[in-house]
Amino acid sequence: MGTITAPGIGSGLDIAGIVQSLVAVERQPLDRIESRRSAAQAELSAYGRLNSGLDTFQTALDDLDSFANFRIFAPTSSNEEIATATASSDAAEGDTDVVVTQLAQRNVLSSTAFVDAETVIGTGTLSIAVGADSFDITLDSTNNTLSAIRDAINNSSDNTGITATVINANDGSHLILSADDTGLENSITISASGDGGSLSALTSANLTVEEVALDAEFTVSGFAVTSASNSVSNVLQGVSFDLLAVGSTTITVGRDNAAVEETVQTFVDAFNTLNTAINGLRAGDLQGDSLLLTISSGARNIFNTATTGLSGSFSTLSEIGVAFDENGVLTLDSDSLITALNTDFRGVSNLFADPTQGYVTRLQDLADGLTQSGGLIDSREEGVNQRITNFDVQVDRFEDRLSRIERRLLNQFTALDVLLGTLNNTSNFLSTQLASLPTIQRRN
């Protein structure tokens, strides 16, 4: 049977408290290591926030890094009930007259009336063609009702662009076949083969044309155009039309300066957000880190260095309304930017997006050097991670050492407790024995 011990009972000493106090003294160097590890982890997190801020700033730069990003157009239609338009960066400014004489239409066919959707039609094969493409539906006793034929058409993996429905009308059930796309090239033709029955009722010769397949017919600046679709994108460079009705309209393509302004404002806001983050880190977890000064001074140097050799009226961002105020905050004067865009659109584009001198190009180079693999931030993070790893090793070793010290102290004080308990017992015994001795009477 094991011996039950309770440290301190023999001597009355608070052995647990004594050991804890002694271990706490021994732990002080470990507390300093853990504090330094926590500081390193905070530093690593700060680099992560810096990287995130730079990523956001780079995204804003990407929206201004090419001339195409400035070529934003907002087409308008004089009659939006006839046609509307959208434009890409390849468009050119100007007016275009569009006259629609016929809209594209999809082909729709209907069958004669059957008793109901479960009427058996027949067995065999339906060959269905949509333009030049075709597919076959094989019908047998398991799928030869009107509704089953509808499902077989719609579920066919070879379906080339047709949708089947059943309409239950007053005179009975009709199978409706609709081409998925408009235009003459998507006309529907159906033939049948097999033992027949009523299957021939679903061939082209016996179907009613509800809607004729038609191409759109229209003119653009007087030139005749036909299209299988009412959405037309290959007639006028950079401009797509949506034809809506027969009639005439004028499409006016103009620059969308408001969209450009929004993009520039996003760039300004992103820089200010990054600058605020840098200032916060400088006063906090990255206090004294020279990297922050490198970023701030590098960006300021770019903003303060005028472009050279660019065609156009502008050489600095301040000339188009982008400048720092007295508090160091980057601002945008919208009126100045719009005036600059209207005065020299290409010059504004060059100022941002020129591949060698543009402000965006130079700021991207600065950001890339910081965020790329092996860049300054990556190197800093690698160094901090190594320090954290070293701290982890030191902490593990120190905690193991403290465990051994605690066990040793507990063993030593437990032994002392036992010894003092034994001495106390001996003392008590001797005192009892001495007290029991006869009293010696002294004579006067």
What is the reported pLDDT for 3?
40
Q: Does 306 share its domain with 373?
A: yes
Number of domains comprising the chain:
3
**pLDDT given for residue 402 in this prediction:** 75
Tell me: do 267 and 391 sit in the same domain.
Answer: yes
Based on the domain organization, do 99 and 233 belong to the same domain? yes
Domain interval for residue 201: 108-211
Q: What is the pLDDT of residue 142?
A: 92
Q: What is the CA radius of gyration of the chain?
A: 44
Q: Give the C-alpha separation, 311 to 353, whole Å.
A: 12
Q: Return the structure tokens found at 242.
A: 């949506």
Q: Which of 359, 369, 390, 391 shows the shortest CA–CA distance to 291?
A: 369
Structure tokens at 47: 């680099």
Query: Tens of pLDDT along the chain (444 residues)?
Result: 344 344 554 556 677 777 777 777 777 777 787 778 888 888 888 888 888 888 888 888 888 888 888 888 999 999 999 999 999 988 988 999 999 999 999 999 999 999 999 999 988 999 999 999 999 999 998 999 999 999 999 999 999 999 999 999 999 999 999 999 999 999 999 999 876 567 889 999 999 999 999 999 999 999 999 999 999 999 999 999 999 999 999 999 998 999 999 989 998 998 998 888 888 888 888 888 888 888 889 999 999 999 888 888 899 999 999 999 988 899 999 999 999 999 998 899 999 988 888 899 999 998 888 887 777 888 887 887 888 888 787 877 877 877 887 777 777 777 776 666 677 777 776 777 677 777 655 555
Q: Are 30 and 402 in contact (CB under 8 A)?
A: yes
- What is the amino acid identity at position 331? T
| 331-368: burial string, b at 16+ Cβ within 10 Å, e else | ebeeeebbebbeebbebbbbbbbbeebbbbbbbbebbe
Q: Is residue 430 part of a domain?
A: no
Count CA within 13 A, CB hemisphere, residue 395: 14
Buried (b) or exposed (e) across 210-221, using 16+ Cβ within 10 A?
A: eeebbbbbbebe
Q: Where are the alpha helices (DSSP H) in 63-194?
A: 146-155
d(CA 19, CA 397): 20
User: Cα separations (Å) of 387 from 34, 49, 151, 383, 394?
Assistant: 12, 19, 67, 6, 11
Q: Is residue 228 part of a domain?
A: yes
The closest of 102, 168, 173, 158 to 128, measured between CA atoms, is: 158
The pLDDT of residue 417 is 67
**Residue 173 within a domain:** yes
121 and 62 assigned to the same domain: no
**Is 441 contained in some domain?**
no
Residues 79 and 228 in one domain: yes
Question: What CATH number is given to the structural domain containing 193?
Answer: 2.60.40
Half-sphere exposure of 289 (CA within 13 A, CB side): 25
| Selection from 428, 314, 423 nearest residue 10 by Cα | 423
**308/397 same-domain check:** yes
Gap between the Cα atoms of 30 and 24, Å rounded: 10
pLDDT at 166: 97
Residue 43 included in any domain:
yes
Dihedral angle sign, alpha carbons of residues 405, 409, 410, 411:
positive
432 lies in some domain: no
Residues 298 and 398 in one domain: yes
Residues 263 and 63: beta-carbon distance below 8 Å:
yes
DSSP state of 299: H
Q: How far apart are CA 122 and CA 219, in angstroms?
A: 48
User: Do residue 382 and residue 401 come from a single domain?
Assistant: yes
| Residue of 39, 50, 55, 41 lying closest to 278 (CA atoms) | 50
The answer for residues whose C-beta is within 8 angstroms of residue 434's C-beta and 6 or more apart is none
The reply to whether 248 and 269 lie within a common domain is: no
Residue 327 within any structural domain of the chain: yes
Residue 396: enclosing H or E segment and its boundaries?
Answer: helix 376-435
Instruction: Yes or no: say if 378 and 75 are a contact pair by the CB < 8 Å rule.
Output: no
Q: Give the position of tokens 């009613």.
A: 208
Note whether 200 and 221 are same-domain residues.
no
Could you tell me the two tokens for 187? 């006309």
Residue at 424 is within a domain: no
My answer on whether 99 and 222 are in the same domain is yes
Instruction: Please indicate, yes or no, whether residues 135 and 271 belong to a single structural domain of this protein.
Output: no
